Chain A
Amino acid sequence: MPLLLVITTLIASLSGVAKASSTSIEIAPASLERLPGNSFIINVTVNDVASLYLWMFRLRWNKTVLQLNSIEEGPFLKKEGGSTSGLMLSPSTISEINSAGKINELACSLVGGVSGVDGSGTIATLNFTCLAMGSTALEFWEESPYFEPSTELLNPNGDSISHTATPGTVSVIPEFSDFILTAVLLLATLFVVALGKKVRSTRLKGL
C-alpha cells in the first residue's frame, strides 16, 4: 500500500512538471534553407497553452541576410470566436523594422471580458525574402529597461503564463549560376555521346 502511494505521487508530480514546462513559443519551421531571392513564410506558434489572452514577442535577425516583407496575425487567438486588438507593432512600419533588423515588440490581445484560448496554434506569420548568402538566427531578444521580457503570454487576469521560447535559424545557401549549369550539362552530354560511340565501336568489333 505505501509503495502504491509513493508511485502514485511520483507519477503525479512528474506529470505536473511535464505539463508546466510544455508551454512554449516557437519559430516554425525551426530550421530552413533557402536560395538568395527566395521568399518564405515563418510561423510563430504557441504550444500547449492554457487560457491565453495576450501574446507578445520581440524578434531579431541578420538584416543583411533577410528582409521582412509582411506580418499577419495568426488564427490561434481568434479560434474561439473572440475579437482581437489586431497586431500591435513597434516600430510601426516594415521599413523601420528592416532598418533595425528587429521587431521591438509585436503583440496581440483578445478584447473585452472573454476567456482565454487553450491549445496550440499560430499566433503570427512572417514573410521574409532572402537577401544574400549566410545564416541567421530568428531569435527572441530583450533589452533593459524598456524591451523586456523577450516573450510574454498573459491570461485574462493579466498573469504571466510560464513558457519557454525556441528560436529558429535560416540558412541562405549558394545557387548554381546558369553558366556552370550549362557547362555541366554540356560535359554530361559529351560524356554520354562518347560513351555511346565507344559502346557502338565495341559492338562492331565483336561482329
Chain B
Amino acid sequence: MILKKDLIFTILATFCITAILFTAIPIRSTPSPGEYDPWIDTNDDGIINYEDLFNLAARYGTFGTSINKTDLLLQLQSKVDSLNASILDLEARVNALEEPVTTERIADDAVTNAKLAAGAIPFNSSYSTTPQSTTSIDWPDIPDMSVSITLASRSHVIIMFSSRAWLATTGNFIRVRAKVGPSDAYPGSAGIPLTDQTSMWWSYSYVFYLPNVNAGVYTVKIQWRVATSASAGNVAERTLSVIALPA
C-alpha cells in the first residue's frame, strides 16, 4: 500500500532529478564530439592537435586546486563591463572638457575658467550713510544710489537695494523703483512700496531685476517718491549692489 507521504516524496524526488538533468544537460552538451572545443585547445592556436596532446599527456596524473573557468569568465566579463562603463563616463567628461574654448564662447560667457578674471562677472555697488528726504511725487533719484555697469554681452541684471527708511508723518508711504539705463527693472515702473512707518529704526530690502539686457554701458539707479507730498519720506544708511549674469 502506497502512503500519501511516500507518493509526495516520490514526486518531489522525481522533480529534483529532472530539474538537475535539465540544468546539467545544457552545460555539458556544448560542443558535441567532433566539433572544435576552444576549452580543449590548451595553446589557443585554433586547432586541437599534438601540442594539446602533449600539454595533457605531460601533466597527466597531476593534481591541484581547480578553477571554475566559467565563473572566471563571468567575473572577467563583469569587470570588463564595469571598466567599459567607467571609460564611457570618462569619455563624456573628456569630451566636455575638450570642447574648444573659443574666443566667441568666452565672449559669450558660455565658458569661463575657474580663476575668473577681475570683472569677469560685472559688478558695481554704492552706499551712503547720509540721511536724505523727499516730498517729490516725480521719481527723483535717491542720492548716492546710482552705479555704472558695463555688460560685455547680453546679461541678466540683478539689482539689490536696502535702506533704512521712514516717513515724517503717518498717512503717507514711500515707493522705490530701479532703472537700468532708460528701462524700468521688474516689477516695473510703479515700483514697490518701501514703508509707511514713521519709526526711523526699521530697515528694508528689495531685489529688482531686468533680464536679457544687451551688451553696453548702463547706469543703474534707484528712484523714489512719496505717495503725497504732504509729508517727507526719509532714507539714511543704504546700499546698492548690481551684478550681471550671462543671459
Contacts and interface: CB of A to CB of B under 8 A. Distances in A.
Interface in A139-161: 145-146, 152, 154, 156, 158
Nearest to A152: B50
Nearest to A158: B54
Central interface residue in B53, B60, B61, B62, by most chain A CB within 10 Å: B53
Nearest to B48: A90
A111 interface: yes
Contacts of A88: 50, 53
Contacts of A85: 53, 57
A174 interface: no
Interface residues of B, number: 13
Contacts of B55: 158
B61 A54 contact: no
Interface residues of A, number: 19
B54 A146 contact: no
Interface in B1-55: 46-47, 49-51, 53-55
A156 B51 CA distance: 12
Contacts of A53: 54, 57-58
Contacts of A145: 46
Interface in A114-167: 145-146, 152, 154, 156, 158
Contacts of A158: 51, 54-55, 58
A158 B54 CA distance: 7
B46 A109 contact: no
Contacts of B53: 54, 85, 88, 107, 109
A105 interface: yes
A71 B100 CA distance: 74
A81 interface: no
Contact of A109 (B47, B50, B61, B62): B50
A146 B46 CA distance: 8
A29 interface: no
Given A109-B57, A146-B47, 4 more contacts: A54-B50, A105-B50, A156-B58, A158-B51
Interface of A: 53-54, 56, 85, 88, 90, 105, 107, 109-113, 145-146, 152, 154, 156, 158
